[in-house]
Structure 1
């Protein structure tokens, strides 16, 4: 079963969940704001997506960080630490397969069709 990572009140998460439900794609939802997320889990996504794509610099969370905090994010390790402590700065959603491999980042209907309806 797929795991969809995100926060429940995010509009992009709502779109992704609606699409998955409509297309009868089974998944479980993981609320990382409520349940937290480890730097190791975040780092595992970097094998599929560059760390600077997983880090959502358009997020309110990122914009509200001090310039000093932002300047500390220079590589995958520092990005994983920041995203673990500030999970709402993760680009949403991240969807993993049953083995924990990240399949998609963000919501894109065409990519979802190609990935989940094969």
Structure 2
């Protein structure tokens, strides 16, 4: 199991601790354009965390940019964690995701 997120994110740390998965810190080890494209194809607009501090600090012009370019330039805008297991992707670490992964 692979977890994409931030090592400083409490939710990402909980996901790693519970699942035993490996964390890829997207700030230290940015996502490839292919990974971003796959995440976008799966989650669409839900991938952009519009409640984040990073989002609030962006200008209106920056917010209007292409979402994939924004995520590449500002990895902390990604809603997290993105969990990958057996080629399937999940977004977040809520009760529904934990149940689907067998960690309820």
- Deviation of 1:17 after TM superposition, in Å, equals 1.9
Gaps of 5+ in 1: 22-26, 73-77
Q: Of the candidates 35, 39, 44, which is equivalent to residue 38 of structure 2?
A: 44
- Give the alignment's TM-score, normalised by structure 2: 0.87
The secondary structure found in structure 2 opposite 1:112 is helix
Aligned twin of 1:5: 4
- Deviation of 1:44 after TM superposition, in Å, equals 0.5
Which entry has the higher C-alpha Rg, 1 or 2?
1
Structure 1 segment 11-90 matched on structure 2, within 5 A: 11-21=10-20, 27-50=21-44, 52-72=45-65, 78-90=66-78
| CA-based RMSD | 1.7
Gaps of 5+ in 2: none
Superposition misfits of 4+ residues, deviation over 3 angstroms: none
Please tell me whether residue 109 in structure 1 is matched to residue 95 in structure 2. Answer: yes
- Deviation of 1:58 after TM superposition, in Å, equals 0.6
